[in-house]
Amino acid sequence: NWLNLGDHIQLTSRRWLRLQEYLSKKLMSNNGVRVQKFFVADTVNEALEAAKRLNAKEIVLKAQILAGGRGKRVFNSGLKGGVHLTKDPKLAKQMIGYNLATKQTPKEGVKVNKVMVAEAFDISRETYLAILMDRSCNGPVLVGSPQGAVDVEEVAASNPELIFKEQIDIFEGIKDSQAQRMAENLGFVGPLKSQAADQLTKLYNLFLKIGATQVEVNPFVVCFDAKINFDDNAEFRQKDIFAMDDKSENEPIENEAAKYDLKYIGLDGNIACFVKGAGLAMATCDIIFLNGGKPANFLDLGGGVKEAQVYQAFTLLTANPKVEAILVNIFGSIVNCAIIANGITKACWELELKVPLVVRLEGTNIQEAQKILNNSGLPITSAIDLEDAAKKAVATVAKK
């Protein structure tokens, strides 16, 4: 439960695949979904050239960052908003190369390296549509509203009758009757109703094809704002899409951790956590906090642990100058604790560990693992369970 950590969590990027908006639009366009014509510019000159090629009365300039809420915040150049309807493409001078801060970025914001230059359309009515995986329905669900342009959460709170849902049988796929009904609920009539239903079906087919967990379009029928979330477990069969992953906005340590299949999130405490299993990692952070300490990170080793991975994890943890103690918490069912123990001892000796180390190991080959640690000659503090480990780790920091 991350709520227990309160303000101690830092804003960092999640490791799940996220695509920049222009890439999501390209995927949609390549699969028959209508999107506005656009170009992507890395420089001001490219933005000016893109505007000429569009030959439109007005254009839309959109900062390409992964965070939401772009339109409502400020660049460090002084320009307000990351989305602009304008006739002057030179506005890109105040966007490219500057940081844009939103409610989803660190306080200093994120540097904008690209802008989307798109043709502007007059929209008489904005509608919202999303296709997402819903655990309560055990499959995909269409969610739509005839009231777009605002956060759908606000619509759900103030006008819940304007939120429409269609549960889809993942084996049967979307039925024409469902697509037609949603199109009608979104306010489309006559020929537009059939066109909307066709576009909706194409979106659903894209959703399945690319292994997405969410596809969001606002406004629906001509896509101005696109968002696609992906299932990381589908990476092995979606290699072309995952190759588009933009890691430039991630913390460098997070990218380094991903190279070794480690899931890492930086926090602002001083007790480093080395854990196997995401749920146990969160519980470890919580129990450190409840015992008066502050976790320095979330780190999940995953299942197939090797000694080299353990070594790299320690390398990452000890690189943080704020770390004053390390807590190892392994409850290994499929993980061989002896592998963890060998990795720990190798890392401690080679990295010349200078901070206290508290270790709680339980599971497969535990006797061998304890023997390795006991014979290592290292000043390791053993713990019998998670509560004991957290108290001992907090105590070692409190002594300093």
Residue list for the binding site for GTP:
36, 69-71, 121
Contact 144, 152 (CB under 8 A): no
Q: Residue 369 and residue 375: Cα distance in Å, rounded?
A: 10
Task: Give Cβ neighbours of residue 41 (< 8 Å, ≥ 6 apart).
Answer: 47, 49, 50, 92, 96, 114, 115, 116, 117
Q: Which amino acid is it at 213?
A: T
Annotated binding site for Mg(2+): 218, 225
Contact 143, 163 (CB under 8 A): yes
- 161 is an active site residue: no
Q: Residue 226 and residue 38: Cα distance in Å, rounded?
A: 13
Task: Give Cβ neighbours of residue 143 (< 8 Å, ≥ 6 apart).
Answer: 128, 129, 130, 131, 132, 152, 163, 164, 165
Say which of 166, 216, 249, 254 is annotated catalytic.
216
Q: Residue 11 and residue 110: Cα distance in Å, rounded?
A: 12
Say which of 22, 98, 128, 204 is annotated catalytic.
128
Q: Which amino acid is it at 297?
A: N
Annotated binding site: 36, 69-71, 121, 218, 225
Within 13 A of 246's CA, how many CA atoms are on the CB side? 17
- 128 is an active site residue: yes
- List, by residue number, the catalytic residues: 128, 216
